[in-house]
Amino acid sequence: MGVSFHEATTVAALATPASARTNDQSVPSVAVFFIAADVFMAVGFAAAAVWAWRYAREAGGRLARGLRIAAVGLVAIVLANCVFVPAIVLGLIYHVGVADRAGSAGTVVGAFAVTILLMPGVLLFLAGVSYPAAMTRVGAMRIWWRHRRGYRQLAPLWTVLHSEFPDDALDRVPAAPWRDALRLRGTHRRYYRRVVECRDGLVRISPYLARTDTSADLPSRLQQALAAHAAGEPAQTKAVPVALPEGDGLDSDVRELVRLARGLETRGVG
């Protein structure tokens, strides 16, 4: 019948003299305790490495990469534990006491294992566990930066449309504006709000655009249409499509709006 880790460590602890120091692995019972602990941890970390690598095959993207990195770190920790065991045995056979040192890490072989295997393994394991969440936050920061930049790039277009159609503004505001200004989510809210307000304004001014000179570029035609609306001239057509994107999706739509905003900016409008 095999001996469990609990039984082995219990017997070793009971057999340890009261005068023995905790890390004095020249004492057989203390050496047995540390050997049992290192073997138990090696088996546990090895099983965890196998599971991590197995589930990495079923996962994808950031999670798969994180699991593989963690598995490599766990393997390094297992190898370190495997080095600690013979280091303890050699210390016990040759009566090399390490009472005043950090256990098996106090030996030359143990210190080598800590430096080359254990510490890098721990760092790799932590990096692998943190990798999916860290990459998710990096991706979120990229989106935040793109929305922040887009919000500012749309300012010339939004300014001229908002001054002409102030009633198109979305009046819903956060309960705590100062706190909202410091939160990443507030940038997204302001970005989407500006995109919607720009589109609403273009819909409102589009009947006047149909009356302008079609040979001119869109920023010039928009200036003419805004001037006609400000003068109170009646619209003679219904709403027409303006600055249609080439592709599908919000990003394509925003690119067209930004292009129109830049055209207005070069003319000193906004």
3-state secondary structure the chain: CCCCHHHHHHHHHHHCCCCCCCCCCCCHHHHHHHHHHHHHHHHHHHHHHHHHHHHHHHCCHHHHHHHHHHHHHHHHHHHHHHHHHHHHHHHHHCCCCCCCCCHHHHCHHHHHHHHHHHHHHHHHHHHHHHHHHHHHHHHHHHHHHHHHHHHHHCHHHHHHHHHHCHHHCCCCCCCCHHHHHHCHHHHHHHHHHHHHHHHHHHHHHHHHHCCCCCCCCHHHHHHHHHHHHHCCCCCCCCCCCCCCCCCCCHHHHHHHHHHHHHHHHHCCCC
**For 180, left (φ over 0), alpha (ψ -120 to 50), or beta?**
alpha
CA 156/CA 260 separation, integer angstroms: 9
Distance of CA 238 to the CA centre of its chain: 47
Distance of CA 184 to the CA centre of its chain: 14
Backbone angles phi, psi at 164, to 5 degrees: -90, -30
- 154: tokens are 């749309």
**What Rg value do the Cα atoms of the chain yield, rounded?**
34
- What pLDDT is recorded for position 157? 92
- 71: tokens are 């598995």
Per-residue tens of pLDDT for the chain, all 270 residues:
345 656 666 666 656 655 555 666 666 677 777 888 888 889 999 999 999 999 999 988 899 999 999 999 999 999 998 888 887 777 676 655 444 444 455 566 777 788 888 999 999 999 999 999 999 999 999 999 999 999 999 999 999 998 888 887 776 655 555 555 556 678 888 899 999 999 998 888 888 887 766 667 888 888 888 888 888 777 767 877 788 888 788 888 899 999 999 988 887 655
Distance in angstroms between the alpha carbons of the first and the last residue of the chain: 85
- What pLDDT is recorded for position 258? 92
Backbone angles phi, psi at 252, to 5 degrees: -65, -40
From 195, 205, 175, 211, select the one nearest 261 (Cα to Cα).
Answer: 195
CA 33/CA 10 separation, integer angstroms: 8
- What pLDDT is recorded for position 16? 60
- What pLDDT is recorded for position 163? 87
Backbone angles phi, psi at 218, to 5 degrees: -60, -40
CA 22/CA 19 separation, integer angstroms: 9
